[in-house]
Amino acid sequence: MPEVSPDVSLARWTTLGLGGPAQRMIVANSVDEIVQSVRSAADRPALILAGGSNVVVGDDGFPGVVVLVRSAGWTVTADDGGTVDLVVQAGQDWDGFVAYTVAEGLAGVECLSGVPGSTGATPIQNVGAYGQDVSEVITAVTVLDRLADEVVELSAAECEFAYRGSRFKHNDRWVVLSVAMRLVRSPLSTPIRYAELARRLGVEPGDHVNLGQVREAVLALRRGKGMVLDPEDPDTRSVGSFFMNPVLSASAYQMFMAKADGNAPSTWPEADGKVKVSAAWLIENAGFRKGYARGGAAISGKHTLALTNRGGRTEDLLELAREVRDGVHARFGVTLRPEPVLINCEL
């Protein structure tokens, strides 16, 4: 049976170390326990929590049941020598799984090394980093449909993946139980797409590199930005990137460039003539520097996109986020949107 505890502080279960109490917490160690726990909370609000790396929980906590997902492991379901299909449990530590794929010579998620949190969170957020998105390898996601009260498998197309989003984000209808992926059996990475990573590896974009080398390079880059969890480093007490890179229409991009006085930030072309703009550049050029603090929160000393807890409250972090968001809008006319899920709080 799942373990049940009353009045548990959620700060303990988030990478920010912030959040008030939950009325009730259930620890679920298997798919059956997750389903059972969610069904037992059908008459009250329920929050599904695993790694706690992409949530901001309000100071008042959560007025309902928190299901702490602790299912783990993965199964190889098919291997034709060229590709390998796997099913990974929702509570499986993501980086532990990535380390396995690299050691086994399976390419497809090596650039996602060091991303904190659980595997079940990756389709919700469509986790991406250094030129890879998890949606590129996901073939299906098994979920509990709380509306129909049944377990169903959704194809990758049915997941409606988008930039840092999916049909699961901001929608408590679906509870991710497991994730099916297809990886390529190869000692070499998928093509290196991200210029910063290519420079670190000493290769050209589009080149293929030894999987282990890619993993170590990504981990080194992430550590340099405070994006690998380290209890001794206060810059890692965050949710990673707090703001998403904004995607601007062609006309909005032209208006932005006029306000930017011709200074060109890092950009990435998108479909339909849209342009993705570096949120870090926007923040820095709006006057917010690394280490800038407000109350008990601060911008990371290593990476402008990370807002960190320096011993304050959730409201301190949100006040800093509002100041940054409003400052960027005032300077450039661009609205930054949060990447993490906000629980019982708002910007």
Active site residue 241: yes
Pick the catalytic residue: 53, 71, 110, 164?
164
The set of residues, in sequence order, having a beta carbon less than 8 Å from that of 118 and lying 6+ positions away, is 50, 51, 69, 90, 91, 92, 93, 94
Active site residue 160: no
End-to-end Cα spacing for the chain: 38
Active site residue 113: no
DSSP state of 228: S
278, two tokens: 């570096």
**Amino acid residing at 48:** I
Residue listed under structure tokens 């690394």? 290
> Are the beta carbons of 197 and 217 closer than 8 angstroms?
yes
Pick the catalytic residue: 113, 118, 166, 241?
241
CA dist., res. 115 & res. 156, Å (int): 21
The set of residues, in sequence order, having a beta carbon less than 8 Å from that of 284 and lying 6+ positions away, is 304
- Helix ranges (H only) for the chain are 31-40, 94-103, 121-125, 195-201, 211-224, 250-259, 279-285, 314-332
Residue listed under structure tokens 């003539």? 273
97, two tokens: 């799984």
> Are the beta carbons of 134 and 64 closer than 8 angstroms?
no
> Active-site residue numbers?
164, 241, 339
